[in-house]
């Protein structure tokens, strides 16, 4: 059985062991502001993600923009992570660590940012194409974006969490791609990672019921090859076992009376490449 709890902004920082929070207007307002800043940071990055730039330079831009926006990067110091974003290149599924490594022509890279503004977390990521990217990789990126948006369409009251995963899985597997199961979307708000878990594969009509006030991410990771991943020695970087390319997009959303609100939509309409 899943439990739900209506929470005020003051109560939303509490960890409640699997209880799904139902946020009010103040929570939605907080998430709207944090989500907008997160999206603006990704918008700004479109002109910086080019061949020859290092992922550490991208991390610097993310940190500076986050601080300038009056927020702090939620990943800084999170479980020992020491960077302001994740940069996941090619066969990296997620949690790639920024470094001196330079982006190369033909790479695809996900940048995932999470500014915490006035206590609320805006969590979003997009794929970027570096220079001239082969059609096979571009198709993966397009289909992964479609997966995210199909998941968002299924995110409405009356549906269940399994309906979101089902929409994503059906589309991805229709293209013979693999859906990563080891990492999930998650509730968020004043907590970075909260209940419920949003698995990106599932059966229709299963899982917790979606109710107005729920706030969570959808962040499908889709591989050209098999779904399986492994984490490297650094304890963070997750890669595909078969070294096939992997892509991801992420939005933070809130369930409303008749659907959902996307907190992290791009103000400039730069939702997916080419930007
Ligand atoms: N932003 C990631 C997410 O979507 C979490 C990154 S945690 C980090 O949940 F420590 F790896 F940065
Ligand atoms: Co997330
Ligand atoms: Co994220």
Give the C-alpha distances (Å, rounded to integers) separating 209 from 52, 105, 151, 155, 257.
46, 44, 15, 10, 13
Burial profile 188-219: b = 16 or more Cβ within 10 angstroms, e = fewer = bbbbbbbbbbbbbbbeeeebbebeebbbbbbb
C-beta of 95 in contact with ligand 1 (< 6 A): yes
C-beta of 82 in contact with ligand 1 (< 6 A): no
C-beta of 81 in contact with ligand 1 (< 6 A): yes
Q: Which of 34, 38, 58, 86 to mutate to test the pocket of ligand 1 (most atoms within 8 A of CB)?
A: 86
* pLDDT tens digits for range 200-227: 999 999 999 999 999 999 999 999 999 9
Q: Give nearest CA residue, ligand 1 atom 2.
A: 112
* pLDDT tens digits for range 7-57: 999 999 998 889 999 999 999 999 999 999 999 999 999 999 999 999 999
C-beta of 87 in contact with ligand 1 (< 6 A): no
Q: How far apart are the first and last CA of the chain?
A: 44
Shortest-distance atom of ligand 1 to CA 79: 10
**Is-contact 245 223, C-beta < 8 A?**
yes
* pLDDT tens digits for range 178-194: 999 999 999 999 999 99
C-beta of 114 in contact with ligand 1 (< 6 A): yes
Mean pLDDT of all residues in 135-149: 99
Judged against a pLDDT cut of 70, whether residue 253 lies above it is answered with yes
Element (H, E) at 152: helix 135-153
C-beta of 86 in contact with ligand 1 (< 6 A): yes
Residue 35: strand, helix, or coil: helix
Shortest-distance atom of ligand 1 to CA 186: 9
C-beta of 235 in contact with ligand 1 (< 6 A): no
Q: For residue 184, report the distance from its CA to the centre of ligand 1, in Å.
A: 11
Non-local (6+) Cβ contacts of 64 within 8 A are none
Distance, CA of 33 to CA of 15 (rounded, Å): 22
């Amino acid at each position: 059985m899943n439990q739900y709890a209506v929470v005020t902004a003051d109560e939303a920082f509490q960890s409640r062991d699997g209880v799904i929070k139902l946020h009010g207007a103040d929570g939605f307002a907080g998430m709207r502001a944090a989500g907008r800043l997160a999206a603006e940071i990704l918008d700004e990055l479109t002109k910086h993600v080019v061949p020859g730039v290092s992922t550490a330079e991208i991390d610097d831009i993310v940190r500076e923009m986050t601080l300038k926006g009056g927020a702090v990067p939620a990943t800084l110091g999170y479980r020992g992570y020491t960077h302001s974003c994740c940069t996941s290149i090619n066969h990296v599924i997620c949690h790639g660590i920024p470094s001196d490594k330079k982006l190369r022509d033909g790479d695809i890279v996900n940048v995932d940012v999470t500014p915490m503004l006035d206590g609320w977390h805006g969590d979003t990521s997009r794929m970027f194409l570096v220079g001239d990217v082969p059609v096979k990789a571009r198709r993966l990126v397009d289909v992964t974006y479609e997966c995210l948006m199909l998941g968002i369409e299924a995110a409405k009251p009356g549906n269940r969490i399994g309906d979101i995963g089902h929409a994503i899985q059906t589309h991805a597997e229709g293209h013979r791609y693999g859906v990563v199961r080891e990492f999930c979307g998650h509730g968020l708000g004043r907590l970075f990672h909260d209940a419920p878990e949003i698995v990106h594969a599932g059966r229709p009509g299963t899982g917790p019921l979606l109710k107005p006030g729920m706030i969570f991410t959808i962040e499908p990771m889709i591989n050209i090859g098999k779904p399986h991943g492994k984490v490297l020695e650094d304890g963070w970087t997750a890669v595909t076992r078969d070294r096939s390319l992997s892509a991801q997009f992420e939005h933070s959303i809130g369930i409303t009376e008749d659907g959902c609100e996307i907190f992290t939509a791009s103000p400039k309409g730069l939702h997916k490449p080419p930007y």
